[in-house]
Amino acid sequence: MNKELIDLQKWIIVEFTALENCISDVPDQNDIMQFTYFYIKLLNNVWII
């Protein structure tokens, strides 16, 4: 596997863990913002490769 994909996988694991820690039982505005931000960053990373 190429280096970018490995870096991306590591990044996804880290971000997803952070995301899970942020999201409480009842999602609030902040959780939705976090998730949107994560998703946009994910898409940006995928398109760059």
Model confidence over 29-48: pLDDT tens digits?
777 777 788 888 878 877 65
Please name the residues in contact with 22: beta carbons below 8 A apart, sequence gap of 6 or more: 30, 31, 34
- Overall average pLDDT of the 10-26 stretch: 73
Query: Is the pLDDT score of 20 beyond 70?
Result: yes
Predicted local confidence at residue 26, as pLDDT = 64
Number of folded domains that form the chain: 1
- Overall average pLDDT of the 7-25 stretch: 74
Predicted local confidence at residue 32, as pLDDT = 73
Predicted local confidence at residue 4, as pLDDT = 76
Please name the residues in contact with 41: beta carbons below 8 A apart, sequence gap of 6 or more: 15
Predicted local confidence at residue 14, as pLDDT = 81
Q: Which domain holds residue 10?
A: 3-48
